Amino acid sequence: MRNPPNRPVPFACRGGKLSSIAAAAVLLLAPLQAVEVEGQQLRTQTEESGFTEYTSYDNMMTYLQAVQASSTEMRLGTYGETREGRELPYAIFSRPAVTQPWEAWALGKPILVLAAGVHGPERTLRESVLIMTRDLATPGTPMNRMLDDLTILVVPQINPDGFSRPGGPMRGNLWGLDLNRDYMKMEQPEIQGYVQNILHAWAPHLYIDGHNGGAPPYNIAYQCPSHAAPDQRITALCDDLIFPAIDRKLEAEGYSSFYYDVGRTETRWVTGGTDPRIGRNYGGFANTVGILFESPPGMQSMADGVQSG
């Protein structure tokens, strides 16, 4: 994929810079749980409920606006609308503050995107990134200190229509279409906006796509681009540096992690597919490290799932 004029080539294309992406990913592992800081009063609906209910779309929007009002290092915007007309929010965290991609590129820091909620019922890591949003905005937290080294974008919910469906959430949008299979055609406005206005516009070095899946006994499952066509150093970076660092960090916190599983047998561990239309695989074609994170449902409490994410 060609880069537009004046757009920097992501580090995945520069052999000498691959370690910078790995270091950025490791930095992101630091605060696995929300840290209490004096003056930090904002809480998500999930936290207020004692991890018994999920944050509604309307409460999420109110919460994001309140977090922005408390911070000089957060910018809140929208990158599109859903089929039902819901705004799709994103937050920019940077020190010094930026509002445009070229301002972030000029800082010379790795750019990371944390995204979740592309499947309506998969809500655990959505709650994780909402808590991270507050901690990024709060001086004195480990996440806020990371802004010395990183520019971070948070996209908390790609599919609010599926999440908010009357009668219960659904995997696809309200047309019944799986948005995580739309990265090639980009027929749905939710993915059009995300790809064009976040992934293409900001050219992140790494993005994380949060889901509910995987298999016990692991608290977090992961996978990187697995299509053979993109730069294979992207996948090697995950396998050789990023994922081992995740394993070590989670083990130190009392959690466990391993590769994403979609149908293991006694002799095989079957990981996710290779289709370019899948979000993490699309990352490889965009010269970006696209990482799938899955929080296995049913094997852990909501609190453990949110905190391990």
pLDDT of residue 9: 52
pLDDT of residue 227: 95
Query: Whose CA is closest to 98, among 139, 145, 147, 60?
Result: 147
3-state class of 30 per DSSP?
Answer: coil
Please name the fold of domain 11-31+40-308: Aminopeptidase (3.40.630)
pLDDT of residue 240: 94
In angstroms, rounded to a whole number, what is the distance separating the alpha carbons of residues 105 and 267? 46
Write out pLDDT tens, residues 61-110: 999 999 999 999 999 999 999 999 999 999 999 999 999 999 999 999 99
Write out pLDDT tens, residues 179-215: 999 999 999 999 999 999 999 999 999 999 999 988 7
3-state class of 262 per DSSP?
Answer: coil
- φ, ψ of residue 23 to 5 degrees: the values are -65, -40
In angstroms, rounded to a whole number, what is the distance separating the alpha carbons of residues 189 and 100? 22
- Which regions in the chain score pLDDT beneath 50? 1-5, 11-16, 31-35, 38-39
In angstroms, rounded to a whole number, what is the distance separating the alpha carbons of residues 83 and 146? 35
Assigned token pair, 13: 């294309």
pLDDT of residue 287: 92
Burial class (CB in 10 A: 0-12, 13-18, 19+), 198: buried
In angstroms, rounded to a whole number, what is the distance separating the alpha carbons of residues 211 and 221? 9
pLDDT of residue 283: 95
pLDDT of residue 207: 95
pLDDT of residue 295: 87
pTM above 0.85, yes or no: yes
Say which amino acid occupies 300: Q
pLDDT of residue 32: 42
pLDDT of residue 41: 78
Query: Whose CA is closest to 280, among 161, 214, 199?
Result: 199
